[in-house]
Amino acid sequence: MTKAQYAAKLAEKLKVSKAEGGRIVDEVTGLLTNTLKKGDRVRFPGFGTFKVSKRKARIARNPQTGEPVKVPARTVPRFTPSKELKLAVK
Protein backbone atom coordinates (compact mmCIF):
# COMPACT_ATOMS: atom_id res chain seq x y z
CA MET A 1 0.00 0.00 0.00
CA THR A 2 1.38 3.40 -0.95
CA LYS A 3 1.23 6.56 1.14
CA ALA A 4 -1.50 7.97 -1.13
CA GLN A 5 -3.58 4.80 -0.84
CA TYR A 6 -3.16 4.80 2.93
CA ALA A 7 -4.15 8.49 3.14
CA ALA A 8 -7.23 7.82 0.98
CA LYS A 9 -8.35 4.91 3.21
CA LEU A 10 -7.74 7.00 6.33
CA ALA A 11 -9.74 9.90 4.85
CA GLU A 12 -12.60 7.54 3.97
CA LYS A 13 -12.63 6.06 7.47
CA LEU A 14 -12.52 9.49 9.19
CA LYS A 15 -14.97 11.01 6.67
CA VAL A 16 -12.63 13.82 5.64
CA SER A 17 -11.21 14.83 2.26
CA LYS A 18 -8.30 12.95 0.68
CA ALA A 19 -6.17 16.08 1.05
CA GLU A 20 -6.91 16.19 4.78
CA GLY A 21 -6.09 12.47 5.04
CA GLY A 22 -2.74 13.19 3.38
CA ARG A 23 -2.03 16.03 5.80
CA ILE A 24 -2.82 13.75 8.76
CA VAL A 25 -0.41 11.09 7.48
CA ASP A 26 2.28 13.74 6.91
CA GLU A 27 1.78 15.15 10.40
CA VAL A 28 2.00 11.74 12.07
CA THR A 29 5.17 10.75 10.19
CA GLY A 30 6.72 14.18 10.80
CA LEU A 31 6.02 14.00 14.52
CA LEU A 32 7.41 10.47 14.67
CA THR A 33 10.56 11.53 12.81
CA ASN A 34 11.15 14.56 15.03
CA THR A 35 10.71 12.49 18.18
CA LEU A 36 13.23 9.90 16.94
CA LYS A 37 15.69 12.67 15.99
CA LYS A 38 15.66 13.74 19.66
CA GLY A 39 16.56 10.17 20.64
CA ASP A 40 13.20 9.43 22.29
CA ARG A 41 11.10 6.37 21.60
CA VAL A 42 7.52 6.24 20.41
CA ARG A 43 5.34 3.44 21.76
CA PHE A 44 1.95 2.45 20.36
CA PRO A 45 0.46 -0.21 22.67
CA GLY A 46 -0.86 -3.11 20.63
CA PHE A 47 1.19 -2.03 17.59
CA GLY A 48 4.87 -1.62 18.48
CA THR A 49 7.73 0.65 19.44
CA PHE A 50 9.87 2.94 17.31
CA LYS A 51 13.30 3.74 18.74
CA VAL A 52 16.78 4.85 17.77
CA SER A 53 19.72 2.45 17.89
CA LYS A 54 23.44 3.11 17.54
CA ARG A 55 25.69 1.00 15.36
CA LYS A 56 29.40 0.84 16.14
CA ALA A 57 32.07 1.66 13.58
CA ARG A 58 33.45 -1.45 11.91
CA ILE A 59 35.67 -2.74 9.16
CA ALA A 60 33.82 -4.38 6.25
CA ARG A 61 35.07 -5.84 2.98
CA ASN A 62 34.33 -4.68 -0.55
CA PRO A 63 32.85 -7.82 -2.14
CA GLN A 64 34.30 -7.05 -5.58
CA THR A 65 37.88 -6.28 -4.57
CA GLY A 66 38.13 -7.82 -1.11
CA GLU A 67 39.67 -4.61 0.22
CA PRO A 68 38.81 -3.56 3.78
CA VAL A 69 36.47 -0.57 4.03
CA LYS A 70 35.83 1.52 7.14
CA VAL A 71 32.13 1.83 7.95
CA PRO A 72 31.54 4.76 10.32
CA ALA A 73 29.35 4.61 13.43
CA ARG A 74 25.79 5.68 12.78
CA THR A 75 22.38 6.05 14.33
CA VAL A 76 19.48 4.11 12.78
CA PRO A 77 15.73 3.91 13.43
CA ARG A 78 14.33 0.59 14.67
CA PHE A 79 10.82 -0.81 14.95
CA THR A 80 9.88 -3.61 17.32
CA PRO A 81 6.39 -5.03 16.73
CA SER A 82 4.19 -5.77 19.71
CA LYS A 83 3.08 -9.27 20.60
CA GLU A 84 -0.46 -8.40 19.47
CA LEU A 85 0.74 -7.27 16.03
CA LYS A 86 2.83 -10.40 15.59
CA LEU A 87 -0.17 -12.58 16.40
CA ALA A 88 -2.47 -10.55 14.14
CA VAL A 89 -0.33 -11.09 11.02
CA LYS A 90 0.56 -14.70 11.81
- All domains of the chain in start order, with CATH: 3-88 (4.10.520.10)
Confidence of residue 9 (pLDDT cuts 50, 70, 90): very high
Which of 35, 67, 63, 62 is closest to 51 using CA atoms? 35
Cβ count near 7 (within 10 Å)? 19
Mind listing the pLDDT tens digit for each residue in 14-52? 999 999 999 999 999 999 999 999 999 999 999 999 999
Which amino acid appears at position 46 of this protein?
G
Instruction: Report the alpha-carbon distance of residue 70 to residue 42 in Å, rounded.
Output: 32
Tens digit of pLDDT for each residue in 45-84? Answer: 999 999 999 999 999 999 999 999 999 999 999 999 999 9
What's the pLDDT score for residue 70?
96
| pLDDT score, position 77 | 96
pLDDT for res 90: 85
